[in-house]
Amino acid sequence: MDIVSIVVIAIGLSMDTFSVSIVSGLVYKQLGVRHILRMALFFGAFQAVMPIIGWLSGLAFRQYIHYDHWVAFGILTVVGCKMIYEAFKTKQLEQRLDPTNLLVLLTLSVATSIDALAVGVTLSLLTDFIITAVVIIGSVTFVLSYAGVYIGKRFSHFSENKIEIAGGIVLIGIGIKILVEHLIASLP
């Protein structure tokens, strides 16, 4: 898997945390640098750890999967569709959660990184090297989460739903790219 694809996947995966960060900036304008850094660190760390867990799980059964490109396409498409679906759901609960509370921050970190777990399974089918991918995913998530709070503070309303839809479309696009590349490579 090339670096560009990993960066695009990282951006797609970080859209949930970016949206939560924007909402946090909108609702909690008093968030200080310490709180923003902690939020970005938690989101980045969970987005980096979850693919490792998924990758290790995927390694256990990848020898039994002979159509890895179809599995990768399927997982990325399902995760992308889930993100698009969730963008249309009401997010009132997120707006009532205080990200300065450690328990709330842990809950948000886990909730926004579940998709990264599934992507980790996909990565186990495509590469033996996970370190580069998780460093990129964690770093992109950290930066976008940090920036999201400031964007939320700066603007009265920014459409976080559109951001999640874009993230879902990106993941579906990567799944299609993987499938097409494998299908073309298998042509005589």
pTM, rounded to two decimals: 0.73
Query: Mean pLDDT across the chain, nearest whole number?
Result: 81
CA-based nearest residue to 123, from 59, 48, 169, 35: 59
pLDDT on residue 95 = 46
pLDDT on residue 173 = 79
Distance of alpha carbon 133 from alpha carbon 30, whole angstroms? 34
- Indicate if the pLDDT at residue 75 is higher than 80: no
Q: When comparing pLDDT for 116 and 43, which is higher?
A: 43
| Range with lowest mean pLDDT among 31-40, 76-85, 88-97, 148-157 | 88-97
Burial profile 124-140: b = 16 or more Cβ within 10 angstroms, e = fewer: bbbeeebeebbebbbbb
